[in-house]
């Protein structure tokens, strides 16, 4: 299986990018949808492809590689870079 995990059309505003003092940033979702047990999982260190969307569709496609640059860190960086104000949803694979 090429794609093991994915998240589709997550709303940027529904993610707690800065959870506050003493709390760790998390990118939470469910793992095991087609299995008998569904588990909550943190995908922020996941590597793969992500898509940023604006109001009209796909805006930017990126790739993460390695634990130092997982999905969570890369997406959070896009909040403050040149793409910051241009996307409101994202998907990842």
Instruction: Please give the pLDDT value at position 74.
Output: 92
In a domain, 83, yes or no: yes
Question: What's the pLDDT tens digit per position in 66-91?
Answer: 667 889 889 999 999 999 999 999 99
User: pTM of the prediction?
Assistant: 0.81
Contacts of 86 (CB under 8 A, 6+ apart): 52, 54, 59, 60
In a domain, 56, yes or no: yes
Contacts of 9 (CB under 8 A, 6+ apart): 53, 89, 90, 91
| Rounded Cα distance, 4 and 80, in Å | 29
**Which residues constitute the domain of residue 30?**
7-92
In a domain, 37, yes or no: yes
Instruction: Please give the pLDDT value at position 80.
Output: 94
pLDDT > 70? residue 64: yes
Give the number of domains in the chain: 1
- Are 45 and 24 in contact by the 8 Å Cβ rule? The answer is no
pLDDT > 70? residue 92: yes
Instruction: Please give the pLDDT value at position 1.
Output: 61
Instruction: Please give the pLDDT value at position 35.
Output: 61
In a domain, 2, yes or no: no
- Are 48 and 62 in contact by the 8 Å Cβ rule? The answer is no
In a domain, 52, yes or no: yes
């Amino acid at each position: 299986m090429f794609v093991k995990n994915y998240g589709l059309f997550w709303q940027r505003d529904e993610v707690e990018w800065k959870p506050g003092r003493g709390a760790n940033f998390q990118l939470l979702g469910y793992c095991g949808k087609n299995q008998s047990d569904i588990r909550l999982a943190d995908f922020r260190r996941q590597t793969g492809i992500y898509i940023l969307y604006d109001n009209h569709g796909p805006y930017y496609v990126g790739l993460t590689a390695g634990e130092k640059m997982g999905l969570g860190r890369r997406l959070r960086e896009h909040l403050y870079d040149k793409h910051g104000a241009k996307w409101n949803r994202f998907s990842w694979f």
